[in-house]
Amino acid sequence: MAEVLHVALRELFGKRRVRRLRAGGQIPAVLYGHGKESVSLSLPTTEFSMAIRRGTRLVELTGGTTDTALIREVQWDPFGVEVLHADLVRVSADESIETPLSIELRGRAPGTTQGGVVELLAHEVVVECPVTAIPEKLELNINTLELGQSLTAAELVLPPGAKLVTAEDQVLAQCIVPFTEEEEDEPEAADISEPEVIGRKEEEEEA
């Protein structure tokens, strides 16, 4: 179910005014897409932050504009605490879109009992999915991952109506023997023989 955001049209711009906007509990945002004109908005910080924490992607905008939108991009401060800006794209409830989804490993790989470690090689994949069924993330089950084996994108469980855009043979995770310093090639022994000094041999013969 989509979260409802009570938005307002934003007519004030510039760094100083945007700082005042954030100080007043609002987040600057832009809404675009579907061949319509881009609109500058302000979003309630509390409502938007709650939607982000819940992993919400689809939102219903009301107030300054009435649209169904997808949270496309969120800009954070350097500490990853405060939302600085948000990009929203208009969508229709009956359409499918391509979107990146993060991957989360589930289960325990049997290969770890043999001294292996699991490496996640790709943190997200792209899927085409109905906007009303976009999940927060995709889970990759590693309960069958043996030492020396890998899992590909084809083994992800997709939500109903979704299809994989990322290549099915892309390796997402593998179980390998961890690298240790002892496995490094030992440096070649240095040649510690005394270097030949030009002229020494002739001096010895004369002596």
Domain residues of the chain, as ranges? Answer: 3-91, 97-180
Q: How confident is the model at residue 158 (pLDDT cuts 50, 70, 90)?
A: very high
Q: Which of 45 and 194 is assigned the larger pLDDT? A: 45
Q: Which of 80 and 65 is assigned the larger pLDDT? A: 65
Two tokens, residue 33: 């897409």
Task: Answer for the pair 158, 139: CB distance below 8 angstroms, yes or no.
Answer: no
How much is the pLDDT for 148?
94
Q: Is residue 184 scored above 70 in pLDDT? A: no
Assigned architecture for domain 97-180: Beta Complex (2.170)
Backbone angles phi, psi at 101, to 5 degrees: -130, 140
CATH fold for domain 3-91: Ribosomal Protein L25; Chain P (2.40.240)
Q: What is the pTM of this model?
A: 0.66
Q: Which amino acid is at 88?
A: L
Average predicted confidence (pLDDT) for the chain: 86
Task: Answer for the pair 63, 84: CB distance below 8 angstroms, yes or no.
Answer: no
Two tokens, residue 124: 């997200």
Of all residues in the chain, the percent with pLDDT exceeding 70 is: 86
